[in-house]
Amino acid sequence: MDKRTRARELAMQGLYQLDVQGPDLLQRLDEFFRENDPHLLVRKLASEWTKGTWENLALCDGLIAASTIKWRLSRLSTVDKSILRLAVYQLKFCPDIPPRVVINEAIELAKKFSTDKSPAFVNGVLDAVLKKIKTEND
């Protein structure tokens, strides 16, 4: 598995844990990453992306909420929310990652960790988010 793909998996899992257990877990996330992957690059990226997403949670959630039709953020599964938050963070704050890569990786996470309807939902939301970000930047 590609190291960046593995880092996304760990970051999504870290975001899930933060959502369920609360922000006090942030101090112990690096330990979780160390226990789950031996590669320094994977752990570094997972930590960077998880903490960056968590620090910009309100902005990410706002973009998600504005892009989901008939879905309140509170109705989304914790897994889907974690996938979307990570992807929105990367779309907004990681210009070195092409948007198509971010969206495709999020769809793959949804296929692996969520329901059979989640990949299409994630794709639709992220396409709408990307349009909003591009409009803001123009």
pLDDT at 138 over 80: no
Cα angle 48, 25, 81 (rounded to 5 degrees) comes to: 65
pLDDT for 22 equals 93
For the chain, list the domains and their CATH numbers. Answer: 3-137 (1.10.940.10)
**pTM above the 0.85 mark?**
yes
pLDDT in tens, 36-51: 999 999 999 999 999 9
pLDDT averaged over the chain? 95
pLDDT in tens, 83-119: 999 999 999 999 999 999 999 999 999 999 999 999 9
Q: In terms of C-beta density within 10 A (0-12 exposed, 13-18 middle, 19 or more buried), how is residue 88 classed?
A: buried
pLDDT in tens, 50-79: 999 999 999 999 999 999 877 788 789 999
End-to-end CA distance of the chain: 36
